Amino acid sequence: MLGHDCHSIVTGAGHADAMILQLESYLQKDYSLVLTSHYTPEDLKDVETKIAYLREVKVLASRCGSAAEFKAAVKERFPDYGGENYLEMTSGFFFA
């Protein structure tokens, strides 16, 4: 799922890196439209937004010591994002 204003399910730093690589390939290919099965049509600006989100999630995870601390930090950094259930899952993956 792309979702420029929605949390994503990220299973760890390696998964975030893989997602970033995939999204960077969209930028390199200069796609004008990205259609996913779970969100609205998006463009390359949205891709850049998601890449920045994933990078920030990795940074926040590296600075936190627990799932609860991580979840609170991500919610503070991205207060208007939807998909809190996805953030809950991501928290569990980063802090099993």
- The model's pLDDT over 5-16, given as tens digits with 9 standing for 90+, comes to 999 999 999 999
The backbone torsions φ and ψ at residue 48, rounded to the nearest 5 degrees and listed phi first, read -60, -40
19 domain residue, yes or no: yes
pLDDT, average across residues 76-87: 97
- Work out the angle at residue 35's Cα, subtended by the Cα atoms of residues 19 and 86, and round it to the nearest 5 degrees: 50
Whole-model pTM: value is: 0.95
pLDDT, average across residues 74-95: 97
Give how many domains the chain has, as a whole number: 1
pLDDT exceeds 90 at position 68: yes
pLDDT tens-place string over residues 38-61: 888 999 999 999 999 999 999 999
3 domain residue, yes or no: no
7 domain residue, yes or no: no
Full residue range of the structural domain in which residue 38 is found:
13-94
84 domain residue, yes or no: yes
